[in-house]
Amino acid sequence: MSQHEITFTVNGESQSATVAARLTLVDFLRDALRLTGTHAGCEHGVCGACSVLLDGVPVRSCLTLAVQADGSEIVTVEGLAPEPGTLGILQDSFWETHALQCGFCTSGMLIASHALLAANASPTEDEIREAIGGNLCRCTGYKQIVDAIALAAERLRGSNLPAKEAADDER
Amino acid sequence: MSAEPNSAFRYISRKRRTKEDHRFLAGNGRYVADIALPRMLHVALVASPYPAAHILSIDASAALALPGVKAVVTGDELASGTDALASGLDIPKVRRYPLAVGTARYVGEWVAAVVAESRALAEDAAELVEVEYEPLPSVSDPEAALDPSSPPVHADHGSNLLYRRKFVWGPVDEDFAAAEHRIEFRARWNRNATVPIETFGVVASWDPTAQLLDVWASIQMPKFPDQLAKALRLPGNGVRVHFDVDVGGSYGVKRGIKHSVLAGYLARRLGRPVRLIEDRLENMRGGDAHGPDRIFDMAVAFDSSGIIRSLRIRALDDVGAHAGRAPFQLGKPIGAIVGPYRIASVEYEAISVTTNKTPQEAVRGFGQSPTNFALESAVDRVARHLGIDRIELRRRNLIRHDEFPYTIPSGSTYDSGDYHAVLDKALAAGGYEDLVRRRDAAREAGKIAGVGIACCLEPSGGNSAFEPLFNPKNETTTWMDSCSIKVDLYGGIVAMMGTSSSGQGHETLVSTVVGEVLGRDPETIRVVHSDSLSALPSNSPVGSRMAIMLGGAAAGAAKKLKATITAIGAHRLGVAPEAAEYRDGDVMLASDPGRRLTFDQIVEIAHRKFHELPPGLEPGLQSAHVMEVPTGGTLPTADGRVQMYPCYAFEAHVVYLEIDRITGKVAIGRYAVGHDCGTMINPDIVHGMTYGGIAHGIGAALYERFAYDGEGQLLSGSFMDYLIPSSHEVPDITIADHCTPSPLTSFGQKGSGEAGYLGAPAAIAGAVNDALAPLGLSLTELPMTPGVLGDLIAGAG
């Protein structure tokens, strides 16, 4: 099994590691870096629980090899809050509407909706549903998640920051 | 759409943020896969490719030769070192072990476990294990399995029949003979399950000096620590199950007893911690977590006025290759076998068979949702037969508000309800008249459109009365739950519960209830999940029971604590407790509120000043309550009448949908539900579970199926084939709340964990049939997938 040197940024911190070619990004994040907020749900790219931002774009970390992340910037759920013990506006909106139950799909939902709000300050309900359409949730029926994202968009608009900046500011 | 919060409460029924959400949103949950112990080993599994086969030999030499591989364990070894897993029925020759012993009985059954330094290595090695099989005849259809000539899945048992009993409650023959009309039909509920996004996982660690097995598992199972210890031949206090593991969804199925026995055995044998986390394929075909697979043969007797007089139900259920608790899922619906209707007599034949398919496990509602689907299909058919409006027909048969408590023929008494009012609320919330106009306009435009209605009950409070009903050797009449509370030296309140949670918000429940009773802010109350050695007896969150049972236990413990605080304060004030008043933790003279002791002063007396305590009181400030299920404590009668569950929540669904004529895909245009689960402890949690239950019901009705081919091969072992509804398939949903308090519970609450799921499949099936009716078509088989509907519509030309 070939080994590879990789260097990338995770939640703003530079990381270097030697990884096996077949190691997935989700296993690397969880097992090597102990960032366990990212969850492996189906491990075949359907459920979206393992979503992380790779250079600002949501990707399935179960279908991404760790070596593919070389040179890139990764953000996981742990990187969404401004500082430990606090929550960003999007996360706080999820809490306000109770947009989760067991919490297992939640990090993927946050990643998908974070990317949406960075690109679209005023998403319609259809646009919200489209943005989380690749993330499966078994608990909520999506209603309170859609409500949370709409609430977050409204609150971010009210924060007097350009949407992209406000969403980025969350981390 | 919400009812006004009940003004009798300060915290209960109010909009309040949950205790749990914060940690999950920060990525700080602690799921089983997040637990990493030093020197931990990993398991991968070798699975049977055959539905039935003798295992002739297992050659693990190549696997064991890989560096880092620690062991390959077979069923023969496991069967010599452990006892068979518990079975609900009295069927001693249907034996089940975590690994196949001698015979593999379904595709995907675990035949050998490979243990290695990493999961990847274990998977590599699993591919090198060579198993020699001798394929055997198999059976995968439940009707065929019922035929005595079918190959028995368990040869020692001699047939595939596990359970068969015909219950007759009331004068069924007479009622059928006297009725003006009779119809018969078959309804088919195919195999699906809750399929949580987190697969099952377990970590086990053996301490040889303490002789103690520590277990962390994504578990939702009553009596799990006891059954684990028994199978591993350990004393009950030789197993410590840690209930502070966050469970990534369950909705019934996270039982994992075979996984946990296997991991526990391996941890002891190898002297190192062992982790077994299912991958998705192991979960879907080998995790033993499929749901009911049921054929209903229904006969209904009714009058021209639409009054339903009697029912005959034959329910044939296919549990797959092992029994476990699955046959009991035919028993639980007996507690609501007539649904919300005044039906005077019922015949119910429950038949449970084995086939060479993945075993069945408890699924949300424990057999109630399939039964509700069959009942509501019957009601719709009666309406169609008579040409009476479906809603009017339901109104004529629904139990009236003034008839509660109401005892149904099978012996259960419904506690309370206002079904007509909730149905009206649902119709108003859904805009029923508009939906009918919209449907008619859509039909005018050439579309296939329908409106569906379903009314149903959610029995709640789970007292497991189906156990003694189906197995006379089992005399279970209690299914307790418990809570203890302690107040520390500085007044901090800690409440302890004795099970794990899988998203139901139990920390919020307990803190809200304890805060309500004690008049203390729930934000300041910490709730912990004890482990199985320190916990009082509890039965896990099954059967929609925790609002009733954990809420009741927490209220009971808090009331005892309140009485103790009052006694201490009164003693210090020099008056009898009756002359003192408790207010938010302080105790004062009822006649002179200026004379008072503060909560902090009372806490200090309890912890430090024994000389100021009333005589006979223990020092410290703590309490505990173990709660018996309301109405529990009695065995079934000889003719099979039993009070199944104590409380009965009601829901009425209204759905509008259109079916694409070419693709057969259903688009749901409107969904509303009226819901009455008594007092809601936390409305956001109740609403969330109801939305989620409806989403799950949409899956069961339209998409989800563990399909098998004629050879017993599973065709839907991944999320590419087993389709879970996404935000595109689940529409916006409107809930109309109603509150008829239960007279049996601490705050009038009923269960709600199965809400939505219990009626959604019936409502959607009703809407599909309403849509198909103008084409002269009908369908009483779930799921109604695009393929099925497309073919049906195409066939009608």
Q: What's residue B462's pLDDT? A: 85
DSSP category for residue B494: E
Q: Are strands B201-207 and B212-217 parallel, antiparallel or unpaired?
A: antiparallel
The shortest C-alpha distance from B254 to chain A (Å) reads 13
Candidate from B22, B197, B693 with C-beta closest to A49: B197
Nearest CA in chain A to B246: A102
Interhelix angle for B368-386 vs B390-397, to 10°? 110
Q: Which residues of B touch A61 (CB under 8 A)?
A: none
User: Is A32 an interface residue toward B (CB < 8 Å)?
Assistant: no
Q: Write phi, then psi, for B573 (nearest 5 degrees).
A: -85, -5
Domains A3-76 and A89-169 agree in fold: no
The shortest C-alpha distance from B687 to chain A (Å) reads 9
**pLDDT per residue as tens digits for the range A20-47:** 999 999 999 999 999 999 999 999 999 9
Q: Which helix (H) or strand (E) holds B633?
A: none
The shortest C-alpha distance from A146 to chain B (Å) reads 9
Q: Which residues of B touch A97 (CB under 8 A)?
A: 684
Whether the CB-CB separation of B769 and B520 falls below 8 Å is answered with no
Structure confidence at residue A162 as a pLDDT band (50, 70, 90): low
User: Is A110 an interface residue toward B (CB < 8 Å)?
Assistant: yes
Residue-level length of chain A: 171
**pLDDT per residue as tens digits for the range B32-55:** 999 999 999 999 999 999 999 999
Q: Which helix (H) or strand (E) holds B435?
A: helix B432-444
Query: Which one of B24, B118, B675 would you mutate to disrupt binding with A, by most A Cβ within 10 Å of its Cβ?
Result: B24
Candidate from A35, A80, A136 with C-beta closest to B197: A136
Instruction: Kindly provide the ipTM of the predicted complex, given to two decimals.
Output: 0.97
Mean pLDDT within B715-739: 97
Q: What's residue B3's pLDDT? A: 47
Q: CB distance B196–A42 less than 8 Å?
A: no
How far apart (Å, rounded) are the C-alpha atoms in residues B31 and B34? 5
**pLDDT per residue as tens digits for the range B265-301:** 999 999 999 999 999 999 999 999 999 999 999 999 9
For the domain covering A3-76, report its CATH number: 3.10.20.30
Whether the CB-CB separation of B517 and B552 falls below 8 Å is answered with no
Three-class DSSP category at B700:
helix
Structure confidence at residue A96 as a pLDDT band (50, 70, 90): very high
Mean pLDDT within B131-137: 98
- How buried is residue B42: exposed, middle or buried, by Cβ count under 10 Å (0-12/13-18/19+)? buried
How far apart (Å, rounded) are the C-alpha atoms in residues B262 and B274? 10
Q: Which residues of B touch A77 (CB under 8 A)?
A: 25-27
> Is residue A169 predicted with pLDDT exceeding 90?
no
Non-local (6+) Cβ contacts of B79 within 8 A are B97, B101
Token pair listed for B206: 């053996």
Q: Which residues of B touch A146 (CB under 8 A)?
A: 727, 732
Closest C-alpha to B463, from B529, B552, B379, B393? B552
**pLDDT per residue as tens digits for the range B486-503:** 999 999 999 999 999 999
Q: Which residues of B touch A144 (CB under 8 A)?
A: 684, 687-688, 691
Alpha-carbon distances, residue B520 vs B167, B490, B512, B543 (angstroms): 50, 14, 9, 30
126-155 of A, contacting B, C-beta below 8 A? 128-130, 132-146
> Is residue A171 predicted with pLDDT exceeding 50?
no
Candidate from B198, B726, B728 with C-beta closest to A104: B198
Alpha helices by DSSP H, listed for B454-493, are: 466-470
Q: Are strands B41-47 and B274-277 parallel, antiparallel or unpaired?
A: parallel
Q: CB distance B33–A22 less than 8 Å?
A: no
Candidate from A76, A98, A133 with C-beta closest to B18: A98
User: Is A34 an interface residue toward B (CB < 8 Å)?
Assistant: yes
Q: CB distance B692–A95 less than 8 Å?
A: no
The shortest C-alpha distance from B728 to chain A (Å) reads 6
Residue-level length of chain B: 797
Q: Sheet holding A73-75: strands in order across?
A: A13-20, A3-10, A73-75, A51-54, A57-60
Whether the CB-CB separation of B649 and B752 falls below 8 Å is answered with yes
Q: What's residue B4's pLDDT? A: 52
How far apart (Å, rounded) are the C-alpha atoms in residues B280 and B275? 16
User: Is A21 an interface residue toward B (CB < 8 Å)?
Assistant: no
How far apart (Å, rounded) are the C-alpha atoms in residues B697 and B699? 5
> Is residue B1 predicted with pLDDT exceeding 70?
no
Q: What's residue B2's pLDDT? A: 44
Query: Which one of A3, A33, A38, A42 would you mutate to disrupt binding with B, by most B Cβ within 10 Å of its Cβ?
Result: A42
Q: What's residue B424's pLDDT? A: 98
DSSP category for residue B411: S
Q: Report the share of chain B in percent with pLDDT over 90.
A: 98
Non-local (6+) Cβ contacts of B744 within 8 A are B415, B630, B631, B646, B647
Q: CB distance B691–A140 less than 8 Å?
A: yes
Q: Are strands B493-497 and B666-676 parallel, antiparallel or unpaired?
A: unpaired
Q: CB distance A98–B279 less than 8 Å?
A: no
Q: Write phi, then psi, for B109 (nearest 5 degrees).
A: -60, 140
Mean pLDDT within B454-483: 95
Candidate from A34, A94, A146 with C-beta closest to B21: A94
How far apart (Å, rounded) are the C-alpha atoms in residues B6 and B13? 6
Q: Which residues of B touch A98 (CB under 8 A)?
A: 17-18, 21, 684-685, 687-688
How far apart (Å, rounded) are the C-alpha atoms in residues A142 and B725? 10
Candidate from A77, A96, A139 with C-beta closest to B688: A139
**pLDDT per residue as tens digits for the range B611-643:** 999 999 999 999 999 999 999 999 999 999 999
Please report the domains of chain B, with CATH numbers, ordered by start residue.
21-28+480-627 (3.30.365.10), 32-136+200-277 (3.90.1170.50), 294-465+635-795 (3.30.365.10)
**pLDDT per residue as tens digits for the range B236-265:** 999 999 999 999 999 999 999 999 999 999
Closest C-alpha to B680, from B757, B736, B624? B736
Handedness of CA B503, B507, B508, B513 (dihedral sign): positive
> Is residue B21 predicted with pLDDT exceeding 70?
yes
Q: What's residue B343's pLDDT? A: 98
Q: Which residues of B touch A143 (CB under 8 A)?
A: 691, 730, 732-733
The shortest C-alpha distance from A26 to chain B (Å) reads 12
Q: Which residues of B touch A81 (CB under 8 A)?
A: 26
Q: What's residue A114's pLDDT? A: 98
How far apart (Å, rounded) are the C-alpha atoms in residues A40 and A27? 8
Q: What's residue A1's pLDDT? A: 75
Q: What's residue A84's pLDDT? A: 85
Nearest CA in chain A to B200: A41
Nearest CA in chain A to B17: A96
Q: Write phi, then psi, for B750 (nearest 5 degrees).
A: -125, 180
Query: Which one of B197, B512, B694 would you mutate to disrupt binding with A, by most A Cβ within 10 Å of its Cβ?
Result: B197
Q: What's residue A88's pLDDT? A: 96
**pLDDT per residue as tens digits for the range A110-161:** 999 999 999 999 999 999 999 999 999 999 999 999 999 999 999 999 886 6
Q: Are strands A3-10 and A73-75 parallel, antiparallel or unpaired?
A: parallel
Structure confidence at residue A168 as a pLDDT band (50, 70, 90): low
Alpha helices by DSSP H, listed for B753-785, are: 760-772
Q: What CATH number does domain A89-169 carry, 3.40.50.2000, 1.10.150.120, 1.20.59.10, 1.10.8.870?
A: 1.10.150.120
For chain A, domain boundaries: 3-76, 89-169
Average pLDDT of chain B is 97
Q: What's residue B639's pLDDT? A: 94
Q: What's residue B463's pLDDT? A: 85
Structure confidence at residue B692 as a pLDDT band (50, 70, 90): very high
Q: Report the share of chain B in percent with pLDDT over 70.
A: 99
The shortest C-alpha distance from A93 to chain B (Å) reads 10
User: Is A28 an interface residue toward B (CB < 8 Å)?
Assistant: no
Interhelix angle for A143-157 vs B683-702, to 10°? 120
Q: CB distance A47–B197 less than 8 Å?
A: yes
DSSP category for residue B40: -
> Is residue A166 predicted with pLDDT exceeding 70?
no
Mean pLDDT within A55-70: 97
Token pair listed for A66: 């760790």
Closest C-alpha to B290, from B333, B337, B322? B322
Token pair listed for B601: 């002063």
Q: What's residue B157's pLDDT? A: 97
Report CA B727 to chain centroid distance, whole Å: 23
